[in-house]
Structure 1
Amino acid sequence: MKTKWRKASAVIMMGTMLTVAGCQSDNAATKEETTGPVTFSLFSADPHSQWDNMESPVSQKVKETTEVTIEPEFDVGGGEQKIPLMIASGEYPDLILPKGNAGKLVDAGALIDLTDLIEEHAPNLKKVYGDYFNRLKWSGEDESIYILPTSRVDHTYWAPGNGFMLQHDVVKQLGYPEIRTVDDFENAIREYKEKNPTIDGQPTIGLSLLADDWRIMISTTNPAFYATGAPDDGEFYIDPETYEATMHYRRPEEKAYFKWLNHMNAEGLLDQESFVQKYDQYLAKISSGRVLGLIDTDWEVGDAQRALREAGKTERMHGMYPVTLTEEYKHPNFQDTGYLGGWGIGITTECEDPVRAIKFLDYLASEEGQILQNWGIEGEHYTIEDGKRVISDEEMNERNNNANYVKNTGIGVLSGFAPLYGDGVTDSTGQTYSIASPDQIINAYTDTEKEVLSNYNVEMWKDLYPQKEEFPVKPWGAAYNMQVEAGTDLELIMQKSLDVVKKRIPEAILADPSEFDDVWDSFMADLESAGVEQAEADYTEMIKDRLELWE
């Protein structure tokens, strides 16, 4: 089996694309399954800071069981440049995690239909997806399965992933003030910064944002809909009654949010490097302990939080608060989407042994594979006591405090390559597949965190947020993982609109306050010139089509 990507067949050309796409399933079925060790190349549109080269104990166990080695490439650019280059050259890896670019690969005839492979060789995948299997279908016109979604199934969220983040020492010094609105957040940063102009000899930074490539959406633009009570549907707001899509920046309440960020800049509370710093610089700055406030996701700043913890700077770690523009809004972090489907992993037409590939993914989804990815190896990372898996205090301390624990042990290294059950789901022994539980999460908190939460009269960060029962379930899931068909007017308009966003949002935030309205009006005009109204109409149809497909 190869270890480098090979040139795709010459027949995958524009004139024969539809024919190739139509026979992919048959081609996959006729390729012979190999025996013995095999190496699969893999491309991921996301970076992987804990990749272990499959040399850790858990990954070695997976290799021993499956005889499969993964040779990956992890992108830092979201695949936005590299996937089109693959398509242009016809060179693909065996396995691919394309995020939002799967549509381009499907249109290029690069992904095989996995339906028959799953039916014949992947009982564990079928079991994990269960009642949600229908959500794997590509579209109403093409019911093939090209992507295996990798989000956790039936997941119970016990920690908020999105919100406004404040250093623990900030709220502690200020007597634990209410942190509910952007004004509360701003006042806390201002007051603490005035009292503490430096931290460890370096200038204190009030609020730092990140706008490095696609990450501008995570730290700078996505918070605008959360802070105004709207859930994450990517670049669009979906009316829950009519299912009409509106590019979310065109909502008046979001203009008010960005005007607040403009005010933060004018007040000297915004990091002046926010729109020029790279991701690694952003993490290093947070890890230094001098950034008071963040507006971000837990996964994007996770490495910096672990570094602070490992350095013993627990008071410089950040708590997550459900801040919104005003109290009339409720932060929708916990609104239920149902099972998302969408983003995940696919097998390309270049894979010489799709049966071995699907069996490898099926193993990761098996009970044994999931226990390995969540708990580790019996006798090494946990023991069995009275029939139950138990993690020692010493091992749990390593999990919580060693920034390289995942890489060193391999626990969780491969978990993003296949679907897994979510927190709270139990295995055949009655134990949860994951180690996460309210008690475990609370026990993993630092003493500083526990002190902060106690002073806010809650046990967990989740308790500060509106709960999922306060919101209706979104019948369309999450719109951001719908695939926009390549080469369409919608794709072109979306790219033009995002180019406008990347230019105008920083400009609006950094403008003199007296010029903000003019910049914003230009922003709205640019979106209209890009064809945003047509994009909204097309996206509305996509939402309605998904609702029909999922019925």
Structure 2
Amino acid sequence: MKRIIKKSGLLIATTMLVLAGCQNDSASKKVDLDKESTGPVSFTLFSADPHPQWDKMESPVSKKVKEETGVSLEAEFDVAGGEQKIPLMIASGEYPDLILPKGNAAKLVEAEALIDLTDLIDKYGPNLKKVYGDYFNRLKWSNEDEGIYILPTSQVNQTYWAPGTGFMLQNDVVKQLGYPEIRTVKDFEKAIKDYKEKNPSIDGQPTVGLSLLADDWRIQITTTNPAFLATGAPDDGEFYIDPETFEAKMHYRRAEEKEYFRWLNHMNDSGLLDKESFVQKYDQYLAKVSSGRVIGLIDADWEMAEAQRALREAGKEERMYGMYPVTLTEEFEHHNFQDTGYLGGWGIGISVDNEDPVRAIKFLDYLASDEGQILQNWGIEGEHHEIVDGKRVIPEDEMKERNNNANYVKQTGVGALKGFAPPYGDGVVDSTGQTYTIASPDQIKDAYTETEKEVLTNYNVEMWKDLYPQKEDFPVKPWGAAFNIPVPGGSELELIMQKSLDIVKKRVPEAILAKPDDFDKVWDTFMNDLEKADVEKAEEEYTKLVKSRLELWGK
């Protein structure tokens, strides 16, 4: 046992003494900046996110990375967001070499499970410093502790050319209905209703109107998060942040959102909501969407991307989905493209159990290098792209594979390691004047199916993004995104948030599935439950975190 940390009062006193002794033994561990292994090395890695395209570093691109760095990864990818696995790590005191904890970094920092990377980056991370650039100060943990424990892995200086989330309709729906305006939930509902009446079955199976997903943490993606986006608020996780006062409020307590959930209740009462929405598992949801019989979704592109690819691969262009900036009423604007600035917070850390942190930081620095990023975005020269007149070009047949092969990442390794180190965002150019990523407006438009192009033309736009309010329509959020502000592990705030989320998982489906006459009663119970869980105290503490971040970032 290499690392033991503070435990709750649930453990007996003798165990606490043993734990405390182990903790004191390891607390003095320092990183030797001059100690580095030679030859091949394998690091264990834990990610709180699943990776359905993981190639086990056996693909051509990953083999190239191993050849250049001497590093291979023995990786574990969680399907539950790390909510159970990370506390178990902390309880055992044993950690993988590299950890992508998602929203649980604070627990690891509190447990002293992650090393401070500041000196390692200073000595061995020139590419990391180059990528972060002016945002490097956002890597500091807090006002009280300016150590760097997590390397954020979101894109730096990203230009978004595709909406990440919204209300989705099959292309054949709008096509068959004459391309109606899809702006409000009433428009969305009418399209589903009219199409379902005309098409009670698809490919011999009963047509499903709107399907949601409530499988564990995914309830936030398709069921609860859309409530704030549909009512004119940006994505700040479980809290709404007042842009003037920076006061935090659990977003379900907004009156506007109650009406959004009332609309979902109406959809259920009208028979337009999938009856399996709150019992289906993620794989069942993907299989259902991949079958082509689900008319509408409210989801993030990354969550249903596998099903979208499957439909494309099966030649069902008309069953693929377009994405629309639907809101409750026209008074609201969809904040999908509101600029957050660069997000610190979520990313990768090196644990105290890593025997060779120098090799680990060098590996991450290589992934952040120009060579590493070109490999992850463009692949291997002569195999996945060619050099024509000094420029990288992806041959037409290779691009077709990228767009249509659902296992392209796993087979080629292009992008398989992309989430493990900070990348430049779309639109950022290298020293040759080319973008690091292959994403560009022209590339995105070229990748559309003929059916998509037809739909967009009929809506008088060239890209799905064009349907949305643009980032210039909103001010930059000075606090970034509140959802990735670390919450102190074991704090009262964390406990209240967990209680509140448990209440949300119970009461929101109950409210949606209730008889319409009972909706207000169920909702009142929901609000009372949150108050009993001390939600106002959580709001007060979260407000302090938001204001602390503003101070840390010099805002």
Give the shorter-chain TM-score range. over 0.9
CA distance in 2, matches of 1:110, 1:11: 8
Q: Aligned-pair RMSD on alpha carbons? A: 1.3
Q: Is the 8 A contact 1:172 1:452 kept in 2?
A: yes
* Residues 153-177 of structure 1 deviation map (CA, whole Å, 9 limit, x = unaligned): 0000000001000000000000000
Which residue number in structure 2 is paired with residue 523 of structure 1? Answer: 526
Q: Which runs of 5+ in 1 are unaligned?
A: 1-6
User: Within 5 A, what are the aligned runs for 1:377-526?
Assistant: 377-526=380-529
Residue 198 (str. 1) matches residue 201 (str. 2)? yes
Which residue number in structure 1 is paired with residue 243 of structure 2? Answer: 240
Q: Is the 8 A contact 1:308 1:316 kept in 2?
A: yes
CA distance in 2, matches of 1:313, 1:23: 60
CA distance in 1, matches of 2:427, 2:458: 28
* Residues 338-363 of structure 1 deviation map (CA, whole Å, 9 limit, x = unaligned): 00111000000000000000000000
- In the superposition, the TM-score normalised over structure 1's length comes to 0.97
CA distance in 2, matches of 1:424, 1:38: 34
Structure 1 counterpart SS, 2:31: helix
Which residue number in structure 2 is paired with residue 4 of structure 1? Answer: none
| Alpha carbons of structure 1 residues 506 and 353: separation in structure 2 relative to 1, 3 Å | same
Q: 2:252 aligns with which of 249, 252, 273?
A: 249
Q: 1:8 aligns with which of 2, 8, 29?
A: 2
CA distance in 2, matches of 1:22, 1:392: 54
| Alpha carbons of structure 1 residues 31 and 11: separation in structure 2 relative to 1, 3 Å | farther
Which residue number in structure 2 is paired with residue 332 of structure 1? Answer: 335
CA distance in 1, matches of 2:242, 2:345: 21
User: Within 5 A, what are the aligned runs for 1:356-371?
Assistant: 356-371=359-374
Structure 1 counterpart SS, 2:36: coil
- What is the aligned length? 543
User: Within 5 A, what are the aligned runs for 1:7-406?
Assistant: 7-9=1-3, 15=20, 23=28, 27-29=30-32, 32-406=35-409
Q: CA deviation at 1:60?
A: 0.5
Q: Is the 8 A contact 1:39 1:68 kept in 2?
A: yes
Structure 2 counterpart SS, 1:92: coil
Q: CA deviation at 1:28?
A: 1.6
Q: CA deviation at 1:263?
A: 0.2
CA distance in 2, matches of 1:50, 1:31: 36
Structure 2 counterpart SS, 1:222: helix
CA distance in 1, matches of 2:532, 2:19: 31
CA distance in 2, matches of 1:399, 1:183: 36
Q: Is the 8 A contact 2:4 2:91 kept in 1?
A: no
CA distance in 1, matches of 2:540, 2:144: 19
CA distance in 2, matches of 1:297, 1:336: 18
CA distance in 1, matches of 2:156, 2:4: 39
Q: CA deviation at 1:90?
A: 1.0
Q: Is the 8 A contact 1:21 1:109 kept in 2?
A: no
| Alpha carbons of structure 1 residues 360 and 58: separation in structure 2 relative to 1, 3 Å | same
Q: CA deviation at 1:9?
A: 3.8
Q: Which runs of 5+ in 2 are unaligned?
A: 7-17
CA distance in 2, matches of 1:105, 1:376: 34
Instruction: State the identity as a percent.
Output: 77
Letter matched to residue 2 of structure 2:
A
Q: CA deviation at 1:29?
A: 2.3
* Residues 107-154 of structure 1 deviation map (CA, whole Å, 9 limit, x = unaligned): 111000000000000100000001001100110001100000000000
CA distance in 1, matches of 2:307, 2:490: 39
- In the superposition, the TM-score normalised over structure 2's length comes to 0.96
Structure 1 counterpart SS, 2:146: coil
Q: CA deviation at 1:22?
A: 6.7
* Residues 185-216 of structure 1 deviation map (CA, whole Å, 9 limit, x = unaligned): 00000000000000011000000000000000
